[in-house]
Structure 1
Amino acid sequence: MIVWLNGPFGGGKTTTAAELDALLPEAVVFDPESMGPPLVPTLSGIEPVHDFQDWRPWRELVVTALTSLDRHTGRTIVAPQTVVV
């Protein structure tokens, strides 16, 4: 199961993710934001954006990573990430 925590910046998503991690022994936390910085050197000169979430490769990598982690671990995955669009 993938639990996506969406909400405003500073709204407590990371804190909630940590609480869920502590309450659910089988849970793991995955931060989708971690998929953004590796794309910056490659894509920033090709397709400048205000936020890496605007890059289609970021969205595809997040889906692929979460799906793979779900299949590989069989655990509940908690993903704290604001998604505006």
Structure 2
Amino acid sequence: MFNSHCVECACYVIMYNFEQRQVLAADERKREFHEEKRNEFESSAEEDHDEQNERTRESTEQWREFHYDGMNPPHEYNRHSI
């Protein structure tokens, strides 16, 4: 039969395991939270980068249209060096 000491040990083991599961579950929630925040940041950074590339492309296109002199290819690529 079990004596009171064995019962105390068994209760301690059960409580310890329960606490460890709680700690592991909390760690998993933290990991998921930080992963989600990292993914949101990366998505936002990628969108910002894409928007900047689009603004640069539009600005370059506007510059080319403004400076185009009707020659083909445009004059900045059609000059002879001295």
Write 1 or 2 for the structure with the bigger share of helix: 2
**TM-score, scaled relative to structure 1:** 0.25
Structure (1 or 2) with the larger CA radius of gyration:
2
**TM-score, scaled relative to structure 2:** 0.26
